């Protein structure tokens, strides 16, 4: 297709992924494109991606979204991080926050000073030097145009899709209702030519975006892009999801609570709570999972729990011929670190940066796929870390995770930290040094040595500097309103009608 003008973009599937793609393309490239989205009301969406990471704020800003309005319409609350409970050992708890830990230097990270202080008998907890972490623990929140707090959102993914649909249609995106019956390909090169609906309507396009979920109707069923299976490293393959009534103020963090065969999430929205139980079907049956979930949730269930099946892995080609896969159609690395919505955002952002205006070329496709592969593999390693770095011996599932072989790329990172407390991030990597540090230490991966730059600071001077930093964070947190009080004043949403 080199040299062919690409103007007609067809998005196959709605949901969060489809409408995020349509909203971004229509906002940023609207005058240059003719965008059609095809979806069926009869095909449900997974719709449980309720927790985001801070890149969601950047994406919303790219779309020109007013934060308070978006939060009201999607029942959103703020998120400062994730509380991991029972991951290292039963009874353990740590918070992986979105904040910066201390103040680093060009020579090394702040944690080397902290490790030196700890060796000398002072310094407290590493979390004492992270504003976002201490605010999360205190269940407080505040932001304005001048605040530097790093945060994300808890949101209703279905309402977010509706919000983006309204925005997209207002910018000229055409929505067609109907099921896709078949996919027409060109005889000469196998490129997708059109979608054929059950009604017989033919939707032609130059570029197709596959947002059809796990089934990958275009990218896999039609173009056979291939699949890399990551289940040996990420063995969970099932989830049960249920919504419940709120029983107290919303906290500014997601809870990820490990159990004998996986983990359970708890995500507070303004008027309800999203709950789910992630598990491996080799170690827990659906009936056992349902019973455990219903026994542990708080509040009244608003819907019947539903089972979601998945497999961890990625398409070998996220972009194949003239089709780009987004969301679950491109791959899945389970929801532990709330990366699913981010992967949609970065996928469509990358597409806009590499958009094939002069036609689809091998060089463009290879560049897109290389970037997508690299980012997803690094996210994969970060999530595997949570399972591998455990001391739990209470169940066969955790025995497997603790002893399993892991990718060399992750094994090298863990070894580097154990030996010398060195943590790094590569250019463009999603999870930065502070994230790796909080999870490694949170799950008791203890370094045997550290950089001696802290030795250059007299102990009393180091103690005073750490005390000043800790004190300034404590004072700032004390002055903040509670998370619930800030939501009530900033972005209160109308209580939705009770489900039938």
pLDDT greater than 60 at residue 2:
no
Q: What pLDDT, on a 0 to 100 scale, did the predictor assign at position 458?
A: 93
Q: How many residues does the chain have?
A: 500
What CA–CA distances, in Å, run from 351 to 331, 360, 431, 491?
A: 16, 12, 21, 32
**Percent of the chain having pLDDT more than 90?**
92
Catalytic residue among 79, 134, 266, 317: 79
pLDDT 10s digits, 253-289: 999 999 999 999 999 999 999 999 999 999 999 999 9
CA 100 to chain CA mean position, Å = 19
Tokens 């109308």, residue? 494
Does residue 488 register a pLDDT over 60? yes
Number of neighbours of residue 171 by Cβ within 10 angstroms? 15
Average pLDDT over residues 434-458: 95
Kindly give, in sequence order, each residue whose CB lies less than 8 Å from that of residue 272, ignoring residues fewer than 6 positions away.
75, 243, 244, 245, 246, 299, 302
Closest CA to 312 of 409, 228, 398, 431: 228
User: Is 193 in contact with 184 (CB distance < 8 Å)?
Assistant: yes
> What is the set of domains in the chain, with CATH numbers?
8-50+156-226+312-378 (3.50.50.60)
Query: According to the model, what pLDDT value does residue 45 have?
Result: 56
Interatomic CA distance for residues 393 and 402, integer angstroms: 8
Specify the pairing of strand 306-309 against strand 238-245: antiparallel
Confidence tier at 500 by pLDDT (50, 70, 90) = very low
The 10 Å Cβ neighbour count of residue 124 is 13
pLDDT at 469: 97
Q: How far is the CA of 58 from the CAs of 53, 253, 386, in angstroms?
A: 10, 19, 27
Reply yes or no on whether 8 is catalytic.
no
Cα atoms found within 13 Å of the Cα of residue 402, Cβ hemisphere only: 18
Q: What mean pLDDT is predicted for residues 4-11?
A: 90
Q: What is the DSSP string of 411-466?
A: HHHHHHHHHH------TT-SS-HHHHHHHHHHTT---S---GGGGGS-HHHHHHHH
Q: How far apart are CA 19 and CA 42, in angstroms?
A: 17
| Of residues 11, 344, 310, 295, the one with CA closest to residue 157 | 344
Torsion of CA 124, 128, 134, 137, to 10 degrees: -20
- DSSP H/E element including 202: strand 202-204
């Amino acid at each position: 297709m080199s040299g062919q003008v690409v103007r007609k973009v067809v998005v196959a599937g709605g949901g969060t992924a489809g409408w995020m793609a349509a909203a971004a393309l229509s906002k940023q490239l609207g005058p240059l494109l003719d965008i059609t989205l095809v979806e069926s009301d009869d095909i449900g969406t997974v719709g449980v991606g309720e927790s985001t990471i801070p890149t969601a704020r950047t994406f919303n800003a790219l779309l020109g979204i007013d934060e308070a309005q978006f939060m009201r319409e999607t029942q959103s609350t703020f998120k400062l991080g994730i509380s991991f409970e029972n991951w290292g050992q039963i009874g353990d708890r740590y918070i992986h926050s979105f904040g910066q830990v201390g103040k680093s230097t060009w020579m090394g990270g702040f944690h080397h000073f902290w490790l030196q202080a700890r060796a000398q008998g002072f310094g407290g907890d590493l979390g004492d030097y992270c504003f976002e972490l201490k605010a999360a623990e205190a269940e407080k929140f505040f932001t304005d145009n001048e605040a530097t707090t790093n945060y994300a959102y808890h949101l209703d993914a279905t309402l977010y899709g509706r919000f983006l649909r309204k925005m997209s249609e207002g910018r000229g995106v055409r929505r067609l209702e109907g099921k896709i019956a078949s996919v027409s390909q060109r005889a000469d090169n196998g490129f997708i030519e059109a979608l054929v609906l059950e009604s017989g309507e033919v939707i032609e396009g130059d570029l197709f975006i596959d947002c059809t979920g796990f089934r990958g109707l275009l990218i896999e069923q039609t173009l056979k892009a291939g699949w890399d299976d990551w289940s040996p490293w990420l063995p969970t393959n099932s989830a049960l999801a249920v919504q419940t009534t709120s029983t107290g103020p919303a906290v500014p963090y997601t809870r990820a609570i490990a159990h004998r065969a996986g983990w359970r999430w708890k995500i507070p929205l303004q008027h309800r709570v999203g709950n789910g139980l992630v598990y491996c079907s080799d170690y827990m049956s659906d009936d056992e999972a349902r019973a455990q979930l219903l026994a542990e949730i708080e509040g009244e269930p608003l819907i019947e729990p539903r089972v979601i099946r998945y497999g961890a892995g990625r398409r070998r080609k996220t972009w194949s011929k003239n089709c780009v896969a987004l969301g679950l159609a491109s791959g899945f690395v389970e929801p532990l670190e709330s990366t699913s919505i981010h992967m949609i955002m970065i996928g469509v952002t990358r597409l806009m940066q590499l958009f094939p205006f002069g036609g689809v070329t091998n060089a463009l496709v290879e560049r897109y796929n290389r970037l997508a592969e690299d980012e997803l593999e690094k996210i994969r390693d970060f999530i595997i870390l949570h399972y591998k770095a455990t001391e739990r011996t209470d169940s066969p599932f955790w025995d497997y995770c603790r002893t399993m072989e892991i990718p060399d790329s992750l094994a090298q990172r863990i070894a580097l930290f154990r030996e010398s407390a060195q943590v790094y991030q590569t250019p463009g990597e999603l999870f930065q040094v502070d994230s790796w540090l909080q999870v490694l230490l949170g799950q008791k991966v203890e370094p045997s040595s550290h950089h001696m730059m802290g030795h250059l600071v007299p102990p009393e001077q180091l103690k005073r500097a750490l005390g000043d930093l800790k004190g300034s964070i404590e004072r700032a947190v004390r002055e903040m309103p509670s998370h619930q009080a800030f939501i009530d004043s900033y972005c209160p949403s109308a209580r939705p009608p009770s489900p039938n």
